Structure 1
Amino acid sequence: MSTARVDPVTRAAIDWMLRLESGQACPSERQVFKAWLAENPAHLAAWQRVAGVLKAPVADLHSVERRSPGQLQAARRALLASASPAGKKALQGGLLLLLLGLGAAGLVDRVTPLTGLTADYQTATGERKTIELADGSLLTLNARSAVDIEFSSGQRRVHLRAGELQVDVAADAKRPFVVATAQGQVQALGTRFMVRQGTDESLASVQQHSVQLDTLGGLQRRIETGQALSFTANQIDPQTPTSRSQTDWLAGRVELHDEPLSALIEALRPYQTGMLRISPEAARVRVFGVFPLDNTPQTLSALTQTLPIKVTRYGPWLTLIDVRG
C-alpha cells in the first residue's frame, strides 16, 4: 500500500502553521502570510487542509479526506514530524482535545482571523494597530479586529466587521464620519469615541464630545462624553462604566473594579493564541486590579496567587480555568 506524500504547497502551509504557532511571528511576517494566502487558491486550500488537522470536528475531517484522498493524513504526519518535541506534544494534545469536541470552533483561526483576510485593515491575535486615514483621522484597532474604509465626497464611513476600534476624528464639516456595525451606526459629533462589535450586539462609548447612534431598527440616541451604550437593531441599553466600555486596551492593559473574572477572560481572549475556557463557578469570582493584555500566561499565573482558581494548560491550544477543589 502506497503512502501519500505531502505536496510542496501543503508543505509551505505546514511551515506557516509552525511559524505562526510559535508565537514569534512579527506583524510583517503575518502580512506576508496574508499575501501568500491570497496569491493562489491552492494556497488557501492547502492551509485549510492543514488547519483541518487541528480544528475540524470528525465529520469535517472525513469530508476533507474524501475531497483530497491521503493529503489530510499526510499533512498530519508531516506536521507532527516537523515540530520540536515540545511542539509535537502540544500539537498531538491539541488534536486529541479537538477530536473530543473541545475546540472545533477553530484553533488555527486563533492565530490569524481568516474571516478578516479580505478587510481593508485587520489585526491578528495579540496585535494592536493605529492607522492614519486619508482625512487625517487616527483609527486604532484592538486585537482580532477588521474594518473596511469607504470614503466618498459626501461621507467618511468605517465598517467594523469584527473586534473593537477607537477613532480620533479629523474635522471635516462637509463629510460626516460614521462607524457602522451589524446593529447600527455611530456618527461623530466630536472627536474621540470607541465602538465594539460583539456577537449579538454592539457597544459605543465616548471619550470626547458626543456621537449620534442610529440602530438598524430606527432607534436613535445621543451619547455624551463618559457615557456608554450597548445596542441591537431594536434595543438600546445604557451601560455603567466597566472594563468593556473603557479604552485601557490602547495601553495594553485592562482595569477591573469588582467585576466577574469572566470579564477579564473576555478581554484576554483576543490576545491568546489558543482557546480560553472558564467554568461557570470561576466566571463568577470577583476581580479587582490592573492586568496586562500582552502576556496572558503571566496574568493567569498571577491570578492563581490571589484568587481561589486553578489554571490547566494543554499546550498552546487550550487553557482551562476553574475554581480550586
Structure 2
Amino acid sequence: MRADEAVIDEAAQWMALLQSGEVSLGERAAFDAWRTADPRHQQIIEQMGGGLNLLRNPSLRGLPRNSLLHSLNAPSSRRRFISGSLSVLGVALLVGLLGRRYGWLPEAGELATGTGERRDFTLEDGSALTLNARSRVLPLFDAHQRLLALRSGELLVDVAKDPARPFVVETEHGRMRALGTKFLVEQGEDATRLVMLHSQVEVVTSGGARQVVEAGENLLFNSQNILSLQRNKGHESAWVQGRLEVRDRPLSEVIDSLRRYRRGILHVSPEVADLRLSGLYPLDDSDQTLQLLEHSLPIRVTWHNPYWVSIEPRS
C-alpha cells in the first residue's frame, strides 16, 4: 500500500469508528493526536466528508462498531473507497459505502466475529465452522446445495457428508465445491486463498477457470485466473489456536493479520513493509507480538497511545 493510500485507509477507519457512537475517551484522544500529527491527516479527513461535520450525519449515527470495522475490511468495497476521488467523498458516498448495497451491513442470518474474536459454529447440516477475527459469512442452505457466502475475512470448515447436496464456499473471486472435506478459505483484497486439509475441492473462478485442489495443497486465485498452486506449509490454520505462525513472509502481511486482533491504527512505513521474517507469535496479545517484532527486526515500534501505533525503520 502506498503512503497516501495508507493515510486514506487510516482516516477511513477513524471516521467509521467515531461514527459508530461506541468510541471511548481514549480512542477519541487517539484520533485527535493522529489528526494533528501531520497536515495530510487533517486534509484527508476534511476531503472525505467536510471534516468532522460528517460524524453528526443522522444517516450514519449509531451504526455498530463491528459493522463499521467489518465494512472497512470488505475487500471490494474498501478498494472502491480508497481508490475513489477524494473530491467527491462526501456524506452521500460514505452512506452508500456503509449501506447494504455494498454488502457491508449485517444481513439476516449472517455469522460474524468482531475485532480479536474467533468463534465456532455448528451449521444446520452438522458442519463445523470456525471464523477468524473480523470475518463475515452468510449460510444459504436449501434442498439442492449448501452455500457459504464469505463476505470478508477467513473461515475453516469441516464439512458434514451429504451426497445429495454439494457444499460450496463462495467469495467475490469464485466458488469452491466439495462433498465432504475440511478446508480453509481466506478472502483477500485482490484474491482468495484456499487451503486443503482433507479430501479435495474444485475451484471455479468467476471468469470460468477451473482447478481441483488436493489435500495438502493451497491455491491462490482471483476472479479471472489461477495464480498459484503450492504445497501447504503446515501452519495455515494456526490462527484457530490463537497463534500466528510465519515462515519467510513480509512484515506487511504479519501486520495485516494483527489488525484483525487490535482496535485502532497500526501504521507500517513503506520502508520496512517488505522486510522478511519467520516466527511464532501470539494473536491474542498484539502488544507482545509487536515487541517481539521490534527485537527481531531493524524497526522501531512507537506507541503514540494504545490505539495508534506506528512501525518505522530503526534509526
CA distance in 2, matches of 1:236, 1:272: 32
Instruction: Tell me the equivalent position of 2:32.
Output: 92
SS at match of 1:264: helix
Matches within 5 A, 1:220-299: 220-240=210-230, 246-299=236-289
Change (3 A) 1:221 1:123: same
Matches within 5 A, 1:4-43: none
**Does the Cα contact within 8 Å between 1:243 and 1:263 map onto a contact in 2?**
no
CA distance in 1, matches of 2:206, 2:124: 27
**Does the Cα contact within 8 Å between 2:199 and 2:215 map onto a contact in 1?**
yes
Task: Pick the aligned partner of 2:201 from 200, 211, 228.
Answer: 211
**Does the Cα contact within 8 Å between 1:243 and 1:255 map onto a contact in 2?**
no
CA distance in 1, matches of 2:146, 2:250: 38
Q: CA deviation at 1:286?
A: 2.0
Is 1:117 the equivalent of 2:112? Answer: no
CA distance in 2, matches of 1:87, 1:175: 47
SS at match of 1:229: strand
CA displacement, residues 167-198 of structure 1 (integer Å, 9 cap, x when unaligned)? 00000010000001101100114310111111
Change (3 A) 1:258 1:91: closer
CA distance in 2, matches of 1:127, 1:217: 34
* Percent sequence identity over aligned pairs: 38
Q: How many pairs are equivalent?
A: 251
Change (3 A) 1:52 1:290: closer
CA displacement, residues 142-178 of structure 1 (integer Å, 9 cap, x when unaligned)? 1111011111011000100001101000000100000
Q: CA deviation at 1:241?
A: 5.3
**Does the Cα contact within 8 Å between 1:191 and 1:209 map onto a contact in 2?**
yes
Relative to the length of structure 1, the TM-score reads 0.69
Matches within 5 A, 1:85-164: 89-96=29-36, 98-99=41-42, 101=44, 112-114=69-71, 115-118=104-107, 120-164=110-154
**Does the Cα contact within 8 Å between 1:111 and 1:273 map onto a contact in 2?**
no
Is 1:322 the equivalent of 2:298? Answer: no
**Does the Cα contact within 8 Å between 2:235 and 2:245 map onto a contact in 1?**
no
Task: Pick the aligned partner of 1:55 from 15, 39, 53.
Answer: 15
Of 292-301 and 254-263, more deviation after overlay is shown by 254-263
Q: Which runs of 5+ in 1 are unaligned?
A: 1-50, 65-74
Query: Quick one: which amino acid aligns to residue 131 of structure 1?
Result: F
SS at match of 2:287: helix
SS at match of 1:282: coil
Instruction: Tell me the equivalent position of 2:58.
Output: none
Q: CA deviation at 1:127?
A: 0.7
Q: CA deviation at 1:139?
A: 0.8
CA distance in 1, matches of 2:220, 2:208: 15
**Does the Cα contact within 8 Å between 2:242 and 2:282 map onto a contact in 1?**
yes
CA distance in 1, matches of 2:118, 2:148: 17
Instruction: Tell me the equivalent position of 2:93.
Output: none
CA displacement, residues 216-269 of structure 1 (integer Å, 9 cap, x when unaligned)? 111111000111111112100224457898111111111112222222112111
Is 1:170 the equivalent of 2:127? Answer: no
CA distance in 1, matches of 2:184, 2:143: 24
CA displacement, residues 29-83 of structure 1 (integer Å, 9 cap, x when unaligned)? xxxxxxxxxxxxxxxxxxxxxx999517xxxx9xx9xxxxxxxxxx9xxx8xx83
**Does the Cα contact within 8 Å between 2:246 and 2:280 map onto a contact in 1?**
yes
Q: CA deviation at 1:214?
A: 0.8
**Does the Cα contact within 8 Å between 2:174 and 2:205 map onto a contact in 1?**
yes
**Does the Cα contact within 8 Å between 2:162 and 2:179 map onto a contact in 1?**
no
**Does the Cα contact within 8 Å between 1:125 and 1:273 map onto a contact in 2?**
yes
CA distance in 2, matches of 1:241, 1:323: 33
Query: Quick one: which amino acid aligns to residue 220 of structure 2?
Result: S
Q: Which runs of 5+ in 2 are unaligned?
A: 1-10, 50-54, 56-64, 72-103
Change (3 A) 1:319 1:242: farther
Q: CA deviation at 1:133?
A: 0.4
SS at match of 1:147: strand
SS at match of 1:257: strand
Q: CA deviation at 1:310?
A: 0.4
Of 87-96 and 115-124, more deviation after overlay is shown by 87-96
SS at match of 1:135: coil
Relative to the length of structure 2, the TM-score reads 0.71
**Does the Cα contact within 8 Å between 1:148 and 1:161 map onto a contact in 2?**
yes
SS at match of 1:159: strand
Structural RMSD (CA): 3.2
Matches within 5 A, 1:172-211: 172-211=162-201
Instruction: Tell me the equivalent position of 1:68.
Output: none
SS at match of 1:299: helix
CA distance in 2, matches of 1:111, 1:318: 18
SS at match of 1:313: strand
**Does the Cα contact within 8 Å between 2:160 and 2:180 map onto a contact in 1?**
no
